[in-house]
Amino acid sequence: MATSVIGFPRIGENRELKFSTEKYFHNEITQKELFTRAAELRLKHWKLLQEAGVDYIPSNDFSFYDTTLDTALLFNIIPQKAAELKLSPLDKYFALARGYQGEKGDLKALPMKKWFNTNYHYLVPQFDKTTRIKLVGNKIFTEFKEALTAGIKTRPVLVGPYTLLNLSEFANGTKPEDFISQIIEAYTAVFSQLNQLGASWLQLDEPSLVKDMSPQDRALFNKIYTALLTKKGSLKVLLQTYFGDVRDNYTDLIKLDFDGLGLDFIEGRKTLELVKNGFPDEKVLFAGIVNGKNIWHNNYQQTLATVKQLPATKIVLSTSCSLLHVPFSVANENFSPEVKAHFSFAKEKIAELGELSSILDGQADKLLAKNQKLFTGNRIKSNKKLKEKIAGLTEEAFVRTPAFAQREVLQKKEFKLPLLPTTTIGSFPQTRVVKKMRARLKRHELDQKEYDIFIAGKINEWIKWQEDIGLDVLVHGEFERNDMVEYFGQNLSGYLFSKNGWVQSYGTRGVKPPIIWGDVTRQKPITIKWSKYAQEQTNKVVKGMLTGPVTILNWSFPREDISVRESTLQIALAIQDEVLDLEANGIRVIQIDEAALREKLPLRKSDWYSEYLDWAIPAFRLVHSQVKPETQIHTHMCYSEFTDIIPAIDNMDADVISFEASRSNLEILDELQAKNFQTEVGPGVYDIHSPRVPSVEEIKDAIRKILQKVPKQKVWVNPDCGLKTRGENETRASLENLTSATKEVRKELEDGEN
Ligand SMILES: Nc1nc2c(c(=O)[nH]1)N[C@@H](CNc1ccc(C(=O)N[C@@H](CCC(=O)N[C@@H](CCC(=O)N[C@@H](CCC(=O)O)C(=O)O)C(=O)O)C(=O)O)cc1)CN2
Ligand code: MET
Ligand SMILES: [Zn+2]
C-alpha cells in the first residue's frame, strides 16, 4: 500500500532554519547565505522521506515564516502600504510577518492567529478594495523544480482557495464572494504551470472544511471547485483536510472531480462513518491514520482494524495532518529504551507508515506482534489517592467566595491603584545572556549559586526600572524560566522532557512541549522563592506568576490512557497548592496564565461546552477558589478570538484578565460591552510579536478606543503578551511610551471631569 505525508517539520533537526533566519535578521549572514541554507534543509528533508520509502512527498511545505503568508504573496494579496515599501521581496515578506521600522518606512505586522486547534500561528491575509488576486509568485514552482533536479518528484502543497478566503480578513465592505472569479483564475494559472512542469499531483489543503459550514459556505466551496476542477488538465488534485471530519460537505466532496480526498481518521470523529456510507471507486482515499499531533507510537492493531473497514478501492496511508506539529526525531533523545519504545516523532511516524503498509501487504507480521506489546500491561502505576481526591471534589471546590462584585470593592480599597493601572504580562526579554547562563547551568559550567545570583541581579535591575518608569503592578520578569509550560513541567512529577523536541510555534520561535507520562503532582513549591524575593525588593505590589492547568495541558503532549479532563484536574490541584503557598508568602496579586485556553476550543460549535468548556473553566476555578477575597487573581489569554464565549471567560471568575487585542484592532471590545463583561480587563494596547516600538500617540489612541467601550474603572493598561521575545531596548522604549500615554489619558479623564 502506498504512503503519503501531508507536510514535514521545516525548522530542521537542530532548528537550523531558526538560527539561520535569526542570523539574517541580525545582519550576520546575507540573503544569499540564508537561501543556500534553506535549500540544503529542503533537500535533506526530501531525501529523508524518499529513503524512508514515502510515495507521496510534499514540497512547498517549506516556509521562511508561514505558508499562509506564502500563499497570500503567491497571489498578490498584499496591503498597498506594504507593496509600496522599497524593500527586497524577502525583506518585504519579513516586514509583513514581523513589522518594519526603518529608513524605508513604518509598517505594522499582519495579524497573527492560531492555526486551528494547534500552537502554530499563521499570518492573516488582508483583503480590501484594492486587492487584485493574480498569480505573481513562483515559490511553489521553484521548489518543485529544485526537488526534481535532485531526482525527486514531489507533490506541491498549497493552501486551498476556500481555506484561504475563510481565514482572511476583509476590509471596506469587501467579502469572499467578490473574489471568486479572480481566485479561480489564479489557481488555474498554478494548475497550468504545474502541468507544464510535469507535476503529477497537487495537494490543496482545506482544513477549514472541518469547521461548521453554512449553506453559503458550501455554495462558495462548490462554486469555486466546480469551475476550478475543469481546468486541471492532466494534473491530479488531492483535496486534503485535517483536524476533524468533513460532515457538512462530504456528499459534495465525493461528487466533485477531485482525484484524491485526504481525510483525518484521528481527530475526525465521524470520518469512518462518512466513508462507510460510500466512497467513489475512481478516487484515491488518502487515509490519515498516523496521528500527526501526538508523540505516542501508533497502535497498529487499532489502525489496521480501521483500514480494513474502508470501502475505497484505492487507499493511500497518510498522516492525519502535517508533521509540523511534532518534533523531528526520537533518535537523539536520552530516554530509557523502555520509555523510548512508546514514542514516535516525525521521522518515526514516517517509519510507522512504512511498517503499516508492509503489514497490510502481508510482509511483516512480526512487526505487529512487537507493536502490540506496547499496548498490553500497565505502562505506569496509577496514583490511587489522587484519583480519589479528584473523584471526591465537591461543587464548592470550584467556587470562589464572595462573588466578584464584592471582591472588586474590597480590592479597590486594598490596593488603592490609580485609574487605568499599568502592568505587564510577566516576562521580560530572554536575552542571549539569559539563555546562555541557563545553558551553562545545564552543562554544569555554572553552579546553582552563581546562576541564582545572576537571576537575582536581573530581577533587581528590572524591578528598579519598573519603579522608575512608574508602572503600577510589577512583575519579576520570569528570567529563571525557559518556557512558561516546560518550566512548570520540570517542577511537577509525572512529566518527561525531550532534549531536542522542538516544535515550531510561529516564525523562528519554537517550543519543547513536555510529555505527560504519568499522574501529575506537585512535590515542592515552584515559584515561591523568586516571587518572594522580587516582592521584597519593592514597596509596590509584584504579581506572582503561574501557568494555569488548561494551558499546561494544552501545551504539553498529553496522555491518551486517561482523559484530558482528568489530567487537567491533576494539574489544577498541583497549581492550587502553588497559589495558596504564594498567598501564604505575602504575594497579594497572582496571575494564572491561561494563554492557551482559547486554542483548544473545539472547531465545531456543537462541541464547545460538552467537549471542553464544561471542564476547562471549572479546572481554572479550582486553582483559585480557595484564596482570600483580597487576593487579586489575574489571568492572561494570548488570543482574543473569544467573542462567542465571553460568558465562559467571565465564568473563570478571575478579578482581572489581560489579552491580546492590538493586532486585531481591538475588535472584541464591542462584544465585551454587549455582554456586560464583569471581570476587569487589560486589552493589550500594543503588539509584542513585533520589534516595532509603538508611539505614545498610538497607545493613547488604543486606550481611548478601549474607554469608549469599557467603563474606566474596569480598564487596565498593558501590552498584548509577555516580552520574552523582545530586545531590551525596544522593550524599555515601548513601556516608557505606555506609561507616558497612560498618564496623559488619565489627565484627560481628570480634565474631563472638571
Ligand atoms: N509553550 C508555549 N507556547 C506558546 C507561547 C509560549 O510562551 N510557550 N507563547 C505564544 C507564542 N509562541 C511562542 C513560542 C515560543 C517562544 C520562544 O521564545 N521560544 C524560544 C525558546 C524558548 C526556550 O524554551 N528556551 C530555552 C532553550 C534556549 C535555547 O535554545 N538554548 C540553546 C543554547 C543557548 C546558548 O548556549 O547560548 C540551545 O539549547 O541550543 C531556554 O531559555 O532555556 C525560541 O524559539 O527561541 C515565544 C512565543 C503561543 N504559544
Ligand atoms: C504566551 S502568554 C505569556 C504569559 C507569560 N506570563 C509571559 O509573560 O511570558
Ligand atoms: Zn500571551
What residue spans define the domains of the chain?
Answer: 2-373, 384-753
Class of domain 2-373: alpha beta
To test the ligand 2 pocket, which listed residue (721, 723, 724, 725) has its Cβ within 8 A of the most ligand atoms? 721
Class of domain 384-753: alpha beta
pLDDT recorded at residue 462 = 98
Pairing verdict, β 492-496 and 515-522: antiparallel
pLDDT tens digits for range 52-71: 999 999 999 999 999 999 99
Phi, psi of 118 (to 5 degrees): -115, 175
pLDDT recorded at residue 752 = 87
pLDDT recorded at residue 419 = 98
Measured from the Cα of 724, ligand 2's closest atom is 9
pLDDT recorded at residue 377 = 81
Q: CB of 497 within 8 A of CB of 514?
A: yes
Mean pLDDT calculated for residue range 681-696: 94
Measured from the Cα of 595, ligand 1's closest atom is 49
What is the Å distance from ligand 1's center to 435 Cα? 9
pLDDT tens digits for range 428-461: 999 999 999 999 999 999 999 999 999 999 999 9
Assign 286 to helix, strand or coil: strand
Band of pLDDT at residue 665, cut at 50, 70 and 90: low
- Whether 689 sits among the annotated catalytic residues: the reply is yes
Pairing verdict, β 105-107 and 100-102: antiparallel
- Report whether pLDDT(622) > 80: yes
Mean pLDDT calculated for residue range 366-386: 92
Q: What average pLDDT is seen over the chain?
A: 96
Q: At what angle do helices 67-74 and 139-149 cross, to 10 degrees?
A: 110
Question: At residue 540, what is the residue type?
Answer: K
pLDDT recorded at residue 203 = 99
Mean pLDDT calculated for residue range 550-570: 97
What is the Å distance from ligand 2's center to 721 Cα? 6
Band of pLDDT at residue 425, cut at 50, 70 and 90: very high
Q: How far apart are CA 111 and CA 93, in angstroms?
A: 14
Q: CB of 101 within 8 A of CB of 694?
A: no
- Report whether pLDDT(663) > 70: no
- Report whether pLDDT(664) > 80: no
pLDDT recorded at residue 538 = 98
C-alpha cell at 354: 512504512
Rounded alpha-carbon distances, angstroms, from residue 344 to 117, 211, 297, 350:
21, 28, 5, 9
Q: How far apart are CA 455 and CA 447, in angstroms?
A: 13
Q: CB of 113 within 8 A of CB of 639?
A: yes
pLDDT tens digits for range 458-492: 999 999 999 999 999 999 999 999 999 999 999 99
Percent with pLDDT over 90 in the chain: 95
- Report whether pLDDT(753) > 90: no
Asked whether 355 lines ligand 1 (CB < 6 A), one says no
Assign 747 to helix, strand or coil: helix
Asked whether 438 lines ligand 1 (CB < 6 A), one says yes
What is the Å distance from ligand 2's center to 484 Cα? 7
What is the Å distance from ligand 3's center to 425 Cα? 7
pLDDT tens digits for range 214-239: 999 999 999 999 999 999 999 999 99
Binding residues for Zn(2+): 636, 638, 660, 721
To test the ligand 2 pocket, which listed residue (484, 506, 554, 657) has its Cβ within 8 A of the most ligand atoms? 484
CATH topology agreement for domains 2-373 and 384-753 = yes
Q: Per the omega criterion (within 30 degrees of 0), is the bond before 402 cis?
A: yes
Phi, psi of 249 (to 5 degrees): -135, 25
What is the CA angle 166-171-177, rounded to 5? 45
What is the Å distance from ligand 3's center to 688 Cα? 9
- Report whether pLDDT(165) > 80: yes
Q: Output the residue whose Cα is nearest ligand 2's atom 9.
A: 722
Question: At residue 194, what is the residue type?
Answer: L
Q: Output the residue whose Cα is nearest ligand 1's atom 38.
A: 439
Asked whether 638 lines ligand 1 (CB < 6 A), one says yes
Of the listed ligands, the closest to the CA of 498 is 1
Pairing verdict, β 201-205 and 236-240: parallel
Mean pLDDT calculated for residue range 546-550: 98
Measured from the Cα of 545, ligand 2's closest atom is 6
pLDDT tens digits for range 316-363: 999 999 999 999 999 989 999 999 999 999 999 999 999 999 999 998
Burial of 480 (0-12, 13-18, 19+ CB in 10 A): buried
Band of pLDDT at residue 667, cut at 50, 70 and 90: confident
Binding residues for 5-methyltetrahydropteroyltri-L-glutamate: 15-18, 114, 119, 555, 599
Assign 326 to helix, strand or coil: coil
Closest CA to 474 of 406, 393, 415: 415
Helix (H) or strand (E) holding 240: strand 236-240
Of the listed ligands, the closest to the CA of 436 is 1
Q: Output the residue whose Cα is nearest ligand 2's atom 4.
A: 722
Of the listed ligands, the closest to the CA of 481 is 1
Residue 442: CB atoms within 10 A of its CB come to 11
Mean pLDDT calculated for residue range 608-636: 98
Q: CB of 527 within 8 A of CB of 545?
A: yes
pLDDT tens digits for range 20-46: 999 999 999 999 999 999 999 999 999
Q: How far apart are CA 741 and CA 703, in angstroms?
A: 8
Q: CB of 516 within 8 A of CB of 494?
A: yes
- Report whether pLDDT(572) > 70: yes
What is the Å distance from ligand 2's center to 478 Cα? 9
Pocket around ligand 2 at a 6 A CB cut-off: 425-427, 478, 484, 545, 593, 595, 636, 638, 721-722, 724
Binding residues: 15-18, 114, 119, 425-427, 478, 555, 593, 599, 636, 638, 660, 721
Assign 348 to helix, strand or coil: helix
pLDDT recorded at residue 271 = 98
Mean pLDDT calculated for residue range 596-620: 96
pLDDT recorded at residue 363 = 86
